[in-house]
Amino acid sequence: MIHFNKFINSSGEAILYTGKPNLEKLDELSNSVGDLWHSSLDQGFRNCFKELKYQTAIYWWFIHDFEGLKNCISWRLNINSFAIREKVWNQLDGFDYDYHSPIVSGLELGYNFLSNNAGIPVYSKNLYKKENLNITISKKDRYRFFIKNFKNNHTYYMIYRKGIFNLIPELYTYFREKNKYKRKKYNLIKPRVLQNIKGKPTVSLVIPTMKRQKYAQLLLEDHKKQTYLIKEAVIVDATPEKERDDKFYQNKDFPFDVKVKWQTSMGSCRARNEAIELCTGDYIIFADDDVRIFSDFVENHIKLLQTYNADACNGLDIMADNVNQDLTDLQNKLNEIDATRWKVGISHMFSNANSCVKKQMIQKVIGNDINFDGGYGEDADFGLSIIKSGGILLHNPFSPNLHLKPPAGGYRWWGSEAKKRGKKRKQQPWELDNPVKNIRPVPSPTITYGVLKHFPKELVKEWRSKHFFIYLFKKDLKTLPLRLLKLPYKQIQFSKSLKYARALINLGPRYK
């Protein structure tokens, strides 16, 4: 059993810890961001437990530890050297001692803390002394971890990926362990009480739009009713000149400045970058042009970031059933999910439809990589760039929006050209000087570009393997023969996607 010591920080809060931390640094950390702190990445834990790739491949940002940072999000904690807020620890179930090695008990707690408990685990350099521990995970513990925390199909996939020569020992261990354990249930850490806004921070609103002036105007009307008014709304509108309506975006209609830039370039990433250049606020709220918001939306974004000392957050993005729904419908939808809504923790995605980011952090990551224009994946790229810069990106349940999703307009109208073929197809930016001809690349080359940009070769290889495994076996097995016949063509499509993505990698990230 692990024994905790207790430290009362300079704010009077109780912090539990194991090992011998630098208490001066622990006081600094516990008065800032995070719920749990460790230095495990300097103690032999960096990128350990590689078999988790069989469950997540590249679909979870935190599978691969981030390099060169003094502080960052990391779940790989050393059970013998970490600290945690006592009020947070009391909301957890403690360590699971079913594992042969206590090291795995610590890794499981860290994994679930980040992935399922809505906790904020932070690696901090020099909180604990550097060590060179030899981290090994037995086959039994590996299967216990998978059985307790993942669906069965992930375990089956791991057995498959271990290869034919390891099939018998892997199956033997799996069958010995599968009847002993069952899937866990996880406690959610309660959100902190939001503090009143400190000072008078200014807020800019960014709305990229195209052929949706009426919907963007509706969002501006919602911002007139905010309990904390924005300083300015920056609209970058790609609506063709002949389709524009001058009655929208009039400064005289709003208690904040409305800046409008008619976009001549194409693409939502370019639009956001052009808008950022015009922003003067301390915080920037990114919004889609087709969302509706409550009157405390802005206030709660700022309150959450200040309360948690975080750099960015995503609000709840609630999909409407139709474009005619309003804020009453939003409240009804929120009532339906009230039991599961209230969690903060580290966000595992980023939403350009509803997010708030410190201007300083945006300047640090430069902006949106325009290599994603014409495709998909720009949200994930921007969010992961924040995390990889050492930033803290949170989920914010206090600032929901209703996403109307009109059938026409928006930047996806332009990107939909990628699905067409022949002479009617408009060339996409990611094609560079190599237009798509008869074979359409799948997945979207910008998705593949994001994978190559952020993940090592080992995980890219696993992603490709899992991509085709899912294609072959996730659907009805009766149609498997047909999918097998199509497999060579699907491989060609994937290879073409890689080709376009590698061309973008060679070009490097671009922001203008």
- Parent domain of 147: 5-178
- Give Cα 150 distance to the centre of its chain: 20
Total number of domains constituting the chain: 3
End residue of a domain, out of 137, 160, 178:
178
DSSP structure class, residue 63: G
Per-residue confidence (pLDDT) for residue 374, from 0 to 100: 87
**Range list of H helices, 66-190:** 86-89, 102-115, 139-149, 152-161, 167-178
- The average pLDDT across 171-193 equals 94
Regarding whether 164 and 16 lie in a shared domain, the answer is: yes
Q: CATH code at 211?
A: 3.90.550.10
Residue 233 phi, psi dihedral angles, 5° rounding: -115, 125
Beta bridge partners of 394: 313, 346
Across 264-299, b (16+ Cβ under 10 Å) vs e yields: eebbbbbbbbbbbeebebbbbbbbbbbbbbbeebbb
**pLDDT(423) > 80:** no
Cα atoms found within 13 Å of the Cα of residue 320, Cβ hemisphere only = 20
* Residue pLDDT, tens place only, 302-357: 999 999 999 999 999 999 999 999 999 999 999 999 989 999 999 999 999 999 99
- The average pLDDT across 226-252 equals 95
Regarding whether 362 and 327 lie in a shared domain, the answer is: yes
Regarding whether 351 and 304 lie in a shared domain, the answer is: yes
Q: Using CA atoms, how far apart are residues 319 and 449, in angstroms rounded to an integer?
A: 28
Per-residue confidence (pLDDT) for residue 366, from 0 to 100: 94
**pLDDT(1) > 90:** no
Per-residue confidence (pLDDT) for residue 267, from 0 to 100: 84
In a domain, 199, yes or no: no
Per-residue confidence (pLDDT) for residue 477, from 0 to 100: 85
Per-residue confidence (pLDDT) for residue 300, from 0 to 100: 98
How many residues comprise the chain? 512
* Residue pLDDT, tens place only, 67-91: 999 999 999 999 999 999 999 999 9
Regarding whether 436 and 399 lie in a shared domain, the answer is: no
Q: Which two tokens stand for residue 400?
A: 């929901």
* Residue pLDDT, tens place only, 79-136: 999 999 999 999 999 999 999 999 999 999 999 999 999 999 999 999 999 999 999 9
SS3 258: strand
Regarding whether 344 and 222 lie in a shared domain, the answer is: yes
**pLDDT(414) > 60:** no
Regarding whether 169 and 90 lie in a shared domain, the answer is: yes
Average pLDDT, the chain: 94
Per-residue confidence (pLDDT) for residue 408, from 0 to 100: 73
Beta bridge partners of 36: 84, 121
Regarding whether 213 and 299 lie in a shared domain, the answer is: yes
* Residue pLDDT, tens place only, 377-413: 999 999 999 999 999 999 999 999 999 998 876 665 5
Q: Using CA atoms, how far apart are residues 311 and 78, in angstroms rounded to an integer?
A: 26
* Residue pLDDT, tens place only, 13-57: 999 999 999 999 999 999 999 999 999 999 999 999 999 999 999
**pLDDT(418) > 80:** no
Regarding whether 436 and 360 lie in a shared domain, the answer is: no
Regarding whether 437 and 390 lie in a shared domain, the answer is: no
Across 246-373, where does the E strand assignment appear?
257-262, 283-287, 291-293, 312-319, 354-358
End residue of a domain, out of 403, 434, 449:
403
Regarding whether 213 and 326 lie in a shared domain, the answer is: yes
Band (pLDDT 50/70/90 cuts) for residue 475 is: confident
The CA-to-CA distance between both ends of the chain, in Å, stands at 56
Regarding whether 384 and 459 lie in a shared domain, the answer is: no
Looking at the chain, the whole-number percentage of residues with pLDDT higher than 70 is: 97
Q: Using CA atoms, how far apart are residues 80 and 377, in angstroms rounded to an integer?
A: 38
- The average pLDDT across 364-375 equals 94
Band (pLDDT 50/70/90 cuts) for residue 422 is: low
Instruction: Say whether pTM exceeds 0.75.
Output: yes
Regarding whether 429 and 397 lie in a shared domain, the answer is: no
End residue of a domain, out of 403, 434, 458:
403
